[in-house]
């Protein structure tokens, strides 16, 4: 069996040599392909290796009759239509870890360069100046660094900062106390991190929850003269808010390797500040990382083609395409249950019990469990969660996962029930599919519901008094928030209610507070689902 | 007994508070003095505190009839005629250690900036170009660091580099095996260091033995593509040889904070080379170091005047 591999960018020489030495592999390197051109080339290939420059669209997958694997040399997968891949049983894999050291070291380079005004001093000298007083710097020694996100990179940055004599505090909702203790770092909530840190370094994934983490509100909570480093993702920072704070001096300096739009716009206000350091997304750009990323993707793709291993696969490789087609919508709603649980739980979840009933789903408890875990861990975890690593990550974080029977949920032809527990509390949810493709949340705790979990939702615990729905609806209307769906469950007449509202726009904190002040409202939470 | 102290440079406000609160001391801060004008002022003072901008010559000591001590806020004493001081029984002190963290951190800053072409990448970005392929960098991870000289600063650099998982070799004829073991570094002779190091950082004092220790001959023994950092003394390097070998590619890159002539002359060949990173002797220039240095020199001078001993004296009489 000879495998044909199409490579659409420059892989390191070492990785190409590896491929050349294989008896069962032939490959072609073709650069600069548009999606259309790629779709034309792809039909004869068993595997595709890409970097970030080529977009792999639905049309490409439609044309890729023989394709079994797509290997992304690198981490970000914005350029690959994973849903399209999954629908056709094509495995998509990336190479997390290969860039870890490079990004860690670049973070430290940025932090130190910022402290010592290095680029500015260098430029000054190149023009013939000898200007020492202007470039007096700051030390890291005995300062506090707040690390947002303690994944592979965050933990390594922490260790190096400790060698500089820094105090390390970290915000990562899924960092267990055990691990924090072992790393000798202090886990804190976000507000504490903002108010205590002299330096802040971002190492979080870019998700709904972390988008614009550095915004006006959070900047106001920071120490005066804080310094910020971002080698993670541009979307974590509200650029306008950052520029404002750099101009006012609230933020003494920023070192950025990533931006909301890349390449950085030539008229970006960041380019006019003298207390910033900017690099063009170089964090992963070392000879060593390029070599490792190349050899890693080649190893992974070959192992997947040969059926030996599917590590770092981002989608579930269900071999039987018909099964996948039927199961895919259930996997999708299972992810939503996990995400809802994560967003609505009062504290870090440490136990999950799952029960599945129904002909379509009963043989597939494993992928459904994994889908729930993926939804549970994705909102805040630094690493990319995929179907292969989700169980492992759950275990690492001390979350006990088990299959169970007899959860107190209603009967439906196909139902996925999930109970989660945390210290001092628990909650149960059940979901099903209507018409084999419409997800529905049908129960939460003792409340029967019937709501499509999607987009921005408000979850309201209330009291069943006349006018409750009217009060809530009127208040939202006053704030120009349109309600797409309002589903109400109650335990008994004039008892307690649980409502799920789907709304058309995000709900600001002020409106959340206004809702809380209604007599009939006991608590309100906002959830966001993809 | 009231001691009069002349301070001829800017010390940090926190350090001056110590003098303000001392009952037995009064002080004046006068900057911009030449040796002549300093000699005119000095007769009434018991102690003199300087940094690097004022030169304390034989002429000054000749006029300083009441002077008991000179405190240098900082380390280098090239600007003080120590023999002249010693002849008159004036103790000269400096403040080693107060700058070491600042210098260790600057060394790492230079090393990492060198690895990632940081200043060059930023300059290009400022010019409106987004050029990623040109600036592919190198990692420190699992590379070998060669330290030439390992005192306080060198050992602090070593421990930080070990956190980056570098192997550390040290050439220092005065370092004991015991200490080397404790610090988990390997003591080697110079040739071995030159032959094995991917990165070389200089932390030696300037002596006859170490003058121009980086020269054509020693460079020839280095690995191809070595990277060199110098935040110690300019005179440790033969600058012409260095420029030559960076241009030839033997040396992949250099980061320098110190130079044979400072300020660096505008026509220095070091300025015209792409992969040479330069900073204007900033190694000790941090707010924290300046505060600490100021506090330390004042405490040392006061304690010395008060008869409690002269710490860090460079010329204690026999």
- Could you tell me the mean pLDDT of each successive run of 10 residues in chain A, 530 residues long? 93 92 95 95 96 92 92 90 79 90 98 98 96 95 96 95 97 85 94 98 88 96 98 96 98 97 94 96 94 94 83 67 73 92 92 90 83 84 62 80 82 90 94 87 92 94 91 94 92 92 93 94 92
Residue-level pLDDT at A83: 79
Co-location of A116 and A263 in the same domain: yes
Co-location of A243 and A300 in the same domain: no
The more confidently predicted of residues B12 and A228 is A228
Convert B50-80 into a string of H (helix), E (strand) and C (coil).
ECCCCCECHHHHHHCCCCCEEEECCCCCCCE
Q: Average model confidence (pLDDT) for chain B?
A: 95
Residue-level pLDDT at A78: 84
Co-location of A145 and A176 in the same domain: yes
Co-location of A104 and A169 in the same domain: yes
Structure tokens at A529: 């689902």
Q: Choose among B106, B109, B132: nearest Cβ to A282.
A: B132
Closest CA to A213 of A192, A199, A233: A233
Residue at B195 is within a domain? yes
Residue at B55 is within a domain? yes
| Inter-chain CB proximity B116 and A160 less than 8 Å | no
A47 lies in which domain range?
3-98+289-315
Co-location of A250 and A397 in the same domain: no
Residue-level pLDDT at A205: 83
DSSP state at residue A198: S
Co-location of B147 and B266 in the same domain: yes
Q: Is A423 helix (H, G, I), strand (E, B) or coil?
A: coil
Co-location of A490 and A398 in the same domain: no
Q: Could you tell me which residues are beta bridge partners of residue A56?
A: A80
DSSP state at residue A175: -
Co-location of A271 and A339 in the same domain: no
- Which of A107, A130, A198, A273 would best serve as a mutation to test chain B binding (most B beta carbons within 10 A)? A130
Any idea which of A3-7, A306-310, B101-105, B167-171 has the lowest mean pLDDT?
Answer: A306-310
Co-location of B90 and B111 in the same domain: no
DSSP H helices, chain B, are 13-21, 35-41, 58-63, 82-87, 100-116, 118-126, 152-163, 177-182, 190-196, 216-220, 239-248, 287-305
Co-location of B23 and B120 in the same domain: no
Co-location of A229 and A299 in the same domain: no
- Residue A464, C-beta contacts closer than 8 angstroms, at least 6 positions apart: A490, A492, A493, A494, A495, A496, A497
Structurally, chain B folds into a number of domains equal to 2
Question: Cα(B260)–Cα(B280) distance, rounded to whole angstroms?
Answer: 12
Structure tokens at A148: 């947002």
Q: Residues of B with CB below 8 A from A290's CB?
A: 136
Task: Give B83→chain A minimum CA distance, Å.
Answer: 30
Co-location of A273 and A308 in the same domain: no
Q: Choose among A165, A262, A277: nearest Cβ to B122.
A: A277
Co-location of B184 and B57 in the same domain: no
Nearest CA in chain B to A274: B126
Task: Give B163→chain A minimum CA distance, Å.
Answer: 5
Co-location of B37 and B7 in the same domain: yes
CATH number for B70: 3.40.50.720
pLDDT in tens, B227-268: 999 999 999 999 999 999 999 999 999 999 999 999 999 999
Q: Rg of the Cα trace of chain B? A: 22
* A290 in contact with chain B, both atoms CB, cutoff 8 A: yes
Residue at A433 is within a domain? yes
- CA dihedral (B142, B146, B147, B148) in degrees, to 10, reads 180
Residue-level pLDDT at A323: 67
A233 included as an active-site residue: yes
Q: Residues of A with CB below 8 A from B159's CB?
A: 163
Work out the angle at residue A108's Cα, subtended by the Cα atoms of residues A102 and A113, and round it to the nearest 5 degrees. Answer: 120
Residue at B27 is within a domain? yes
Residue-level pLDDT at A440: 93
Co-location of B41 and B111 in the same domain: no
Structurally, chain A folds into a number of domains equal to 4
Residue-level pLDDT at A322: 61
Co-location of B49 and B190 in the same domain: no
Residue at A283 is within a domain? no
Co-location of A158 and A265 in the same domain: yes
Task: Give the helix/strand (H/E) hosting B170.
Answer: strand B167-171
B183 lies in which domain range?
100-278
Q: Rg of the Cα trace of chain A? A: 25
| Inter-chain CB proximity A279 and B112 less than 8 Å | no
Residue at A29 is within a domain? yes
Contact A213, A188 (CB under 8 A): no
Residue at A515 is within a domain? yes
Residue-level pLDDT at A320: 52
Co-location of A137 and A230 in the same domain: yes
Question: Cα(B8)–Cα(B60) distance, rounded to whole angstroms?
Answer: 13
Co-location of B120 and B269 in the same domain: yes
Q: Is A258 helix (H, G, I), strand (E, B) or coil?
A: coil
């Amino acid at each position: 069996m000879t495998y044909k591999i199409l490579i659409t960018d420059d892989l390191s020489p070492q990785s190409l040599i590896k491929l050349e030495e294989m008896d069962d592999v032939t490959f072609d390197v073709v650069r600069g392909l548009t999606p259309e051109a790629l779709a034309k080339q792809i039909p004869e290939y068993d595997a595709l290796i890409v970097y970030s420059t080529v977009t792999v669209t639905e049309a490409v997958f439609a044309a890729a009759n023989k394709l079994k694997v797509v290997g992304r040399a690198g981490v970000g997968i914005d350029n690959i239509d994973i849903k399209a891949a999954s629908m056709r049983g094509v495995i998509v894999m990336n190479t997390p870890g290969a860039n870890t050291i490079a990004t860690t070291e670049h973070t430290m380079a940025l932090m130190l360069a910022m402290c010592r005004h290095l680029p500015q001093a260098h430029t000054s000298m190149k023009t013939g100046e000898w200007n020492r007083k202007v470039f007096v710097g700051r030390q890291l020694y005995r300062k506090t660094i707040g690390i947002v996100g303690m994944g592979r990179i965050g933990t390594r940055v922490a260790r190096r900062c400790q060698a500089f004599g820094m105090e390390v505090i970290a915000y990562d909702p899924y960092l267990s106390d055990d691990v924090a203790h072992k790393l000798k770092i202090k886990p804190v909530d976000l507000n504490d991190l903002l108010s205590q840190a002299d330096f802040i370094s971002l190492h979080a994934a870019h998700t709904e929850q972390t988008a614009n983490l550095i915004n006006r509100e959070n900047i106001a909570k920071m120490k005066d003269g804080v310094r910020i480093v971002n080698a993670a993702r541009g979307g974590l920072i509200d650029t306008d808010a950052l520029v404002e704070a750099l101009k006012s001096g609230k933020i003494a300096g920023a070192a950025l390797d990533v931006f909301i739009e890349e390449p950085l716009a030539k008229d970006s206000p960041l380019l006019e500040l003298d207390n910033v350091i900017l690099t063009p997304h170089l964090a992963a750009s070392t000879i060593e990382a390029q070599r490792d990323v190349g050899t890693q993707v080649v190893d992974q793709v070959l192992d997947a083609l040969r059926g030996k291993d599917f590590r770092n696969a981002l989608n579930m490789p269900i071999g039987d395409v018909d099964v996948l087609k039927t199961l895919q919508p259930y996997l999708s709603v299972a992810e939503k249950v996990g995400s809802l649980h994560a967003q609505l739980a009062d504290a870090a979840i440490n136990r999950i019990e799952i029960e599945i009933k129904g002909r379509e789903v009963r043989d597939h408890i494993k992928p459904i469990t994994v889908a729930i875990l993926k939804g549970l861990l994705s909102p805040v975890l630094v690493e990319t969660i995929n179907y292969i690593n989700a169980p492992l990550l759950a275990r690492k974080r001390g979350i006990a996962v088990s299959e169970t029977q007899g959860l107190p949920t209603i009967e439906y032809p196909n139902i996925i029930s999930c109970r989660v527990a945390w210290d001092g509390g628990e909650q149960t949810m059940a979901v099903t599919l209507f018409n084999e493709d419409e997800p529905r949340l049908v129960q939460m705790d003792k409340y029967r519901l019937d709501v499509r979990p999607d987009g921005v939702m408000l979850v309201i615990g209330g009291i069943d008094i006349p006018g409750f729905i009217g009060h809530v609806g009127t208040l939202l209307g006053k704030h120009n928030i349109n309600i797409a769906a309002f589903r109400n469950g109650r335990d008994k007449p004039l008892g307690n209610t649980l409502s799920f509202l789907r709304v058309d726009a995000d709900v600001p904190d002020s409106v959340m507070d206004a809702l809380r002040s209604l007599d009939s409202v006991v608590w309100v939470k906002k959830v966001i689902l993809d | 007994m009231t001691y009069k102290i002349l301070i001829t440079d800017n010390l940090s406000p926190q350090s001056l508070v110590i003098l303000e609160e001392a009952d037995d001391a009064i002080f004046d801060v006068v900057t911009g003095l030449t040796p002549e004008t300093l000699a005119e002022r000095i007769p009434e003072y018991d102690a003199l505190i300087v940094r690097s901008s004022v030169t304390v010559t034989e002429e000054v000591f000749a006029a300083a009839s009441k002077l008991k001590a000179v405190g240098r806020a900082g380390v280098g004493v090239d600007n003080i005629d120590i023999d002249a001081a010693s002849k008159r029984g004036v103790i000269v002190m400096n403040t080693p250690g107060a700058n070491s963290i600042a210098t260790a951190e600057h060394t790492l800053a230079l090393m990492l900036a060198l690895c990632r072409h940081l200043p060059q990448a930023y300059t290009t970005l400022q010019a409106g170009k987004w050029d990623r392929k040109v600036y592919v960098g190198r990692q420190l991870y699992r590379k070998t660091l060669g330290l030439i000289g390992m005192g306080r600063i060198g050992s602090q650099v070593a421990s930080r580099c070990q956190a980056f998982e570098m192997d550390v070799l040290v050439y220092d004829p005065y370092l004991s095996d015991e200490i080397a073991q404790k610090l988990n570094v390997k003591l080697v002779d110079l040739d071995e260091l030159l032959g094995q190091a991917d990165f070389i950082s200089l932390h030696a004092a300037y002596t006859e033995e170490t003058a121009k220790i980086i020269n054509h001959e020693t460079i020839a023994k280095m690995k191809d593509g070595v990277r060199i950092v110098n935040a110690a003394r300019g005179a440790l390097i033969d600058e012409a040889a260095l420029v030559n070998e960076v241009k030839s590619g033997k040396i992949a890159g250099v980061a320098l904070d110190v130079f044979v002539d400072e300020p660096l002359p505008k026509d220095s060949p070091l300025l015209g080379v792409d992969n040479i990173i330069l900073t204007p002797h900033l190694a000790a220039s941090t707010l924290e170091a300046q505060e600490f240095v100021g506090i330390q020199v004042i405490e040392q001078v006061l304690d010395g005047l008060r008869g409690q001993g002269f710490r860090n004296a460079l010329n204690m009489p026999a």
